[in-house]
Amino acid sequence: MKPDRNLLLVTLVALSFANAACARSQPANLPAPERRQAPIDAASVRLSFAPVVKKAAPAVVNVYSRRVVRTQVDPFWGMFMGGGGIPQERVAQSLGSGSIVRPDGVVLTNHHVIDGAQEITVVTSDRREWPAHVLLDDPRADLAVLKIDTHGEQLPALAIDDAGDVQVGDLVLAIGDPFGVGQTVTNGIVSALARSGVGGSDFSSFIQTDAAINPGNSGGPLVDMNGDLIGVNTAILSGSGTSSGVGFAIPAPLVRQVVETALSGAHAVSRPWLGLKSQAITGEMAGSLGLASPHGVVAADVWPGGPAAEAGVVAGDVIQSVNGQPVDDPTGLNYAVETLQPGSTVTLQVRTPGGAERALKVRLDVPPNSPDRDQRTIAGANPLNGATVINLSPGAANELGLDPFAGTGVIVAGVSGYAGNLFQPGDFIRQINGQKVATVAQLEALIAQPAQAWTIVIQRGGRLITAQVRI
């Protein structure tokens, strides 16, 4: 979903709010999911959401994160404020929301709520404060799983939806702490499903809702009329920074994958891949492909020896569905695959360039880590001092949210020290002083050569940047 930016200025707002200051059950008086119906009389309109709130709200928490930020004071202004150009420290705090998803104190929130936090505090609905630590932080999904020590106490918990039958038009509630005013419940409907191109997650298949969510709601639950968590509120589309009725939540299948991984003791989510690069089909492309409408995605490139190639997918094939679920864009295809487990077998409905249709069984696997990462942190008197670099492989690309088809080379995985002035995580280092860089070992050899000045070519987001640096 990409609004015309020439007609409407919009701002995508991450919903954490800066502020200094699992068994399913169903209440007997709520209709079963298969009995959806619109209100039919005045008595129906006067029905209350209170039973749902009573079930869900006690499991909703506030999540406070705290970190110390070092800022450089301009030497000129430092003469008046004291301290000269010495870096100053300040405490940054942020407020988000979360859900208790297991009674022993497992809490779910957004990655961006706790990103960089040195101290995390969870405040439960009864106003008790609990120190928390991170079990798993997954920036790609924008989710984080925390743990508080309840000393054996069983806390109210939300069940993560396992029915998978969310439909456009379903009634939903959003619960959280907007602007730090206190726990707030808003209601709306599911406005759309599988929205892409929004939010801070690589898995763009969001639930869209018109339930009012605002800064401070990040990490809070979107619940259905059973009182179960069907999504985690994460972003809004707004021109003002406040709710305009277009909010987005990370859907339950992705949430469940991250939570289950955290509970298994793993510190990173192992996600499968198909081993292909796909492209959305436009109306013009549909005609040339013999399609009546722009439905499905084209396999633009196929990784040799990858799962898709082994199953018989070739470049130019149109993938129409995964396990019977239609896919219409690359993010939808990635979501359908990467929310499954490595080793799973999926059925792809494929249309060949010649027009023949076939169903292919694909056994998913983790992306290969070849070539080896060879991770190193560069030291010495050079522009890369403090940069952590690795060789690009499909496995490394999947971990960092990069395109595995971007080619071989050296990628910046992290920065600190001097390197932070020039590089960003995800940068490709293409050349050093006119020499092409293919491996980490080659990079380290080039950077070790004495030089008065350095010419470095960086590829960032599809752009080539040439930097001239003197040390």
Please tell me what DSSP assigns to residue 183: -
Which residue bears the tokens 């009995």?
35
Q: Are 53 and 42 in contact (CB under 8 A)?
A: no
267: which DSSP letter? S
Pairing of strands 229-238, 221-223: antiparallel
The CA-CA-CA angle for residues 273, 279, 283, to 5°, reads 145
| Cβ-based neighbour number of residue 263 at 10 Å | 15
Beta-bridge partner residues of 130: 122
Is 218 among the catalytic positions?
Answer: yes
**What is the spatial distance between Cα 172 and Cα 190, in angstroms, rounded to a whole number?**
7
44 catalytic per annotation: no
Closest-CA residue to 173 (of 220, 216, 109, 222) = 222
Beta-carbon neighbour count of residue 64 at 10 Å? 21
33: helix, strand or coil: helix
Q: Are strands 297-302 and 276-280 parallel, antiparallel or unpaired?
A: antiparallel
Judge whether 217 and 63 are in contact, CB under 8 Å.
Answer: no
Tokens of 126: 């009864």
Annotated active-site residue in 16, 65, 111, 142:
142
Catalytic member of 65, 191, 204, 218 = 218
Set 97, 112, 243, 321: catalytic member: 112
Residue 381, exposed/middle/buried by CB under 10 A (0-12, 13-18, 19+)? Answer: exposed
Q: Are 405 and 428 in contact (CB under 8 A)?
A: no
- Residue length, the chain? 471
**Integer Cα distance of 252 and 241 in angstroms:** 26
Who contacts 77 (Cβ-Cβ below 8 Å, separation ≥6)? none
| Dist CA 183 CA 174 (whole Å) | 10
In angstroms, rounded to a whole number, what is the distance separating the alpha carbons of residues 327 and 322? Answer: 7
Half-sphere exposure of 57 (CA within 13 A, CB side): 16
Q: Cα-Cα-Cα-Cα dihedral of 4, 8, 9, 13, to 10°?
A: -80
Question: What is the full DSSP assignment across 394-423?
Answer: HHHHHHHT--GGG-SSEEEEE--GGGGGT-
CA atoms within 13 A on the CB side of 456: 22
Q: Which two tokens stand for residue 361?
A: 């069984």
> Active site includes 142?
yes
Give catalytic residues, as residue numbers.
112, 142, 218
